[in-house]
Amino acid sequence: MEQKPIIYFLCTGNSCRSQMAEGFGKRILGDRFDVYSAGIEAHGIHPMAVRVMAEVGTDISMQTSDVIDPDLLQRAACVITLCGHANERCPVTPPGVKRLHWDLEDPAKAEGSEEERLAVFRKVRDEIRRRIEALAADGPDRFGSFPSER
């Protein structure tokens, strides 16, 4: 059985943005790609990320917060960083690995009431979903070097 190409979402703490991206990636792209997420550090999954993803029917409560796995990084077809810190600190990706950067606001740093903080999580969640849906619509050619889907 041919292995699916890997999409690897990276962020600083693997607690919010990359977790949401992994959840949507598995739901939207999982038939064509193996989807993972990691961070420069592992901070645990933020409860508000779990909550806002559940609101749109995606359960990320069983995902794990992980640090970057050098083997996965080497085997990835595409690495997508979701914050400037991860983009700057991510280990060098090998030739042939497509690297994209989505500079997204960190919802974990949102301030205010619970509802105000949830609004920031929802905004970031919806932007991540929009970008992943755009990747799905573009197909694997968006990354240039993905193997055939068949």
Q: Is 90 a residue of the active site?
A: yes
Q: Does 78 qualify as catalytic in the annotation?
A: no
CA distance 75 to 8: 10
16 is annotated as an active-site residue: no
* Catalytic option among 83, 104, 128, 135: 83
By C-alpha distance, which of 76, 61, 80 is closest to 127? 80
Query: How far out from the chain centre does Cα 114 lie?
Result: 24
- How large is the C-alpha radius of gyration of the chain? 15
Q: Could you say which of 6, 7, 10, 11 is catalytic?
A: 11
**Annotated active-site residue in 90, 104, 124, 135:** 90
The 3-state secondary structure of 56-101 reads CCCCCCCCCCCECCHHHHHHCCEEEECCHHHHHHCCCCCCCCEEEE
Task: Please give the positions annotated as active site.
Answer: 11, 83, 90
